[in-house]
């Protein structure tokens, strides 16, 4: 059943609480990347144009509520004030920032709103009950609005007060950003054009076990790269030197290799170094012959050719996780080559599942070459695992 979207709501003169994802990086009070703010603008601008009174809520960073001193430091560091300032520059509406999450100052600001105006509430994580979906907190926040719109895909996998609690108490719908995420990820995973090829990278097998297992059921090919490949090499009995390895996952890797035979593909060669930082020796070796004292940090040229060949003819590609330490230019060659190979596929739906692979595509200048880049790393991973996302499940179905 399709979910209601913001287009299904009559919003004129209504107080619409919108859960956005304004969890942006801030350094010395300055936002260093405003992508998450601009991603929410289509929904915000639509509501403003339709005469809604828009109440925006988002978390920012983490707030430790166990230690009072740490709580105060975290709150000061993760204040939403710079976000309000940037938002005011991006919209043609009055933006009022309320520096609290509860109380008369917030209530009065919401009450004083006119149609087409925006109130941005302080960081939802200032409240201890946010991450526990505290019913009293959710009921209080819901009392501030008439309608609820979910537009923070990066948070829909969390059953928090601001993502699920408010939606349980108000008529609800998806914003344009979350609607697009659901549509694109569903098209890639639930109803893909075939062949479907998945490329999974990143550091740990443990982070991707459920994704690998689900994709082995639905994909035609699953390609493994990045740090987690070395756990699979160890499972095959190969020497891996000082490469990253989860010893407690070696048996599981053996099981996955057996189940994925003919469908699971690993690097043929690797770029290895005698140290992670300030290496004095860097060389290319076969995956079966990583020397003692060396660690694998990228895929090698044979693998680039091999992975590029495996991608040929794909009609749907899902990519999650870089295949090397792409943050270091000397070990970003493999990730760039994979990125380029996917970007240059003809007539294919290409989806990046957020996180580091999204950062890599942006850093390498390929972000506009993909059909879709997810804005939610954790949420897109859980979607790929086949899990129900609580922040989407709670939204009302279309009638």
Note the pLDDT tens digit of each residue in 202-233.
888 898 999 999 999 999 999 999 999 999 99
pLDDT score recorded for residue 357: 87
Mean pLDDT to the nearest integer, 332-356: 93
Answer yes or no: is pLDDT of 286 > 80: yes
Mean pLDDT to the nearest integer, 142-165: 97
Per-residue b or e along 324-349, where b marks 16 or more CB atoms closer than 10 Å to that residue's CB = bbbeeeebbbbbbbbbebbbebeebb
Mean pLDDT to the nearest integer, 58-75: 96
Cα 74 to its chain centre, rounded Å, is 23
Q: Between the CA of residue 100 and those of 26, 146, 169, 345, what are the distances in Å? A: 19, 20, 22, 49
> Of 36, 125, 221, 363, which one is the catalytic site residue?
36
Active site residue 86: no
Question: Facing residues of 97 across strands?
Answer: 120
pLDDT tens for residues 233-244?
999 999 999 999
- The answer to whether 93 and 84 are in contact (CB under 8 A) is no
pLDDT score recorded for residue 377: 82
Mean pLDDT to the nearest integer, 253-257: 97
Active site residue 355: yes
pLDDT score recorded for residue 360: 84
**Sequence-ordered list of residues with C-beta below 8 angstroms from that of 77, at least 6 positions apart, any chain:** 61
How far apart CA 74 and CA 65 sit, in angstroms, is 9
> Of 145, 154, 296, 355, which one is the catalytic site residue?
355
pLDDT tens for residues 313-341?
999 999 999 999 999 999 999 999 999 99
Mean pLDDT to the nearest integer, 196-203: 95
pLDDT score recorded for residue 213: 93
Active site residue 204: yes
pLDDT tens for residues 112-143?
999 999 999 999 999 999 999 999 999 999 99
pLDDT band at 1 (very low <50, low <70, confident <90, very high): low
- For residue 389, count other CB atoms closer than 10 A to its CB: 25
Active site residue 194: no
- The answer to whether 178 and 390 are in contact (CB under 8 A) is no
Question: Can you tell me whether residue 279 is helix, strand or coil?
Answer: coil
Percentage of the chain surpassing pLDDT 70?
A: 100
Q: What's 256's DSSP letter? A: H
How far apart CA 156 and CA 356 sit, in angstroms, is 19
For the chain, the average pLDDT equals 96
pLDDT score recorded for residue 358: 87
pLDDT score recorded for residue 354: 72
Answer yes or no: is pLDDT of 355 > 90: no
How far apart CA 211 and CA 200 sit, in angstroms, is 9
> Of 226, 324, 378, 391, which one is the catalytic site residue?
378
Mean pLDDT to the nearest integer, 3-24: 98
> Of 169, 204, 315, 362, which one is the catalytic site residue?
204
Domains and CATH numbers, the chain: 6-177 (3.40.50.1260), 184-384 (3.40.50.1260)
Answer yes or no: is pLDDT of 173 > 90: yes
pLDDT band at 376 (very low <50, low <70, confident <90, very high): confident
Cα 350 to its chain centre, rounded Å, is 16
């Amino acid at each position: 059943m399709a979910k209601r979207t913001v287009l299904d709501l009559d919003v004129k003169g209504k107080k619409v609480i919108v859960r956005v994802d304004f969890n942006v990086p801030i350094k010395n009070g300055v936002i260093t990347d405003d992508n998450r703010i601009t991603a929410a603008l289509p929904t915000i601008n639509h509501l403003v144009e339709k005469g809604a009174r828009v109440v925006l809520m988002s978390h920012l960073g983490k707030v430790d509520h166990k230690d009072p001193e740490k709580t105060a430091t975290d709150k000061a560091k993760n204040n939403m004030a710079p976000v309000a300032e940037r938002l005011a520059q991006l919209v043609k509406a009055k933006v009022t920032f309320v520096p609290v999450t509860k109380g008369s100052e917030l209530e009065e600001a919401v009450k004083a709103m006119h149609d087409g105006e925006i109130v941005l509430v302080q960081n939802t994580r200032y409240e201890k009950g946010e991450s526990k979906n505290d019913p009293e907190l959710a009921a209080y926040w819901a009392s501030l609005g008439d309608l609820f719109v979910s537009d923070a895909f990066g948070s829909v996998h969390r059953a928090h007060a601001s993502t699920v609690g408010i939606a349980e108490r108000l008529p609800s719908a998806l914003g344009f950003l979350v609607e697009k995420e659901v549509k694109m990820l569903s098209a890639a995973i639930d109803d893909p054009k075939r062949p479907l090829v998945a490329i999974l990278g990143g550091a740990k097998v443990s982070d991707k076990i459920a994704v690998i297992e689900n994709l082995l059921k639905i994909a035609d090919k699953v390609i493994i790269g990045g740090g987690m490949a070395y756990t699979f090499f160890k499972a095959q009995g190969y020497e891996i030197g000082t490469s990253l390895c989860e010893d407690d996952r070696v048996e599981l890797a053996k099981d996955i290799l057996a189940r994925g035979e003919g469908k699971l593909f690993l690097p043929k060669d690797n770029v290895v170094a005698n140290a992670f930082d300030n290496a004095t020796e860097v060389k290319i070796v076969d995956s079966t012959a990583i020397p003692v004292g060396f660690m694998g940090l990228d895929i090698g040229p044979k693998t680039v050719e091999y992975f590029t060949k495996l991608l040929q003819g794909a009609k749907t590609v899902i990519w999650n996780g870089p295949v090397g330490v792409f943050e270091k230019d000397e070990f970003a060659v493999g990730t760039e080559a994979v990125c380029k190979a996917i970007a240059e596929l003809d007539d294919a739906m290409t989806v990046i599942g957020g996180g580091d692979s999204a950062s890599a595509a942006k850093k390498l200048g390929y972000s506009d070459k993909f059909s879709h880049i997810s804005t939610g790393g954790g949420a897109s991973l859980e979607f790929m695992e086949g899990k129900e996302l609580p922040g989407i499940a709670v939204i009302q179905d279309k009638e």
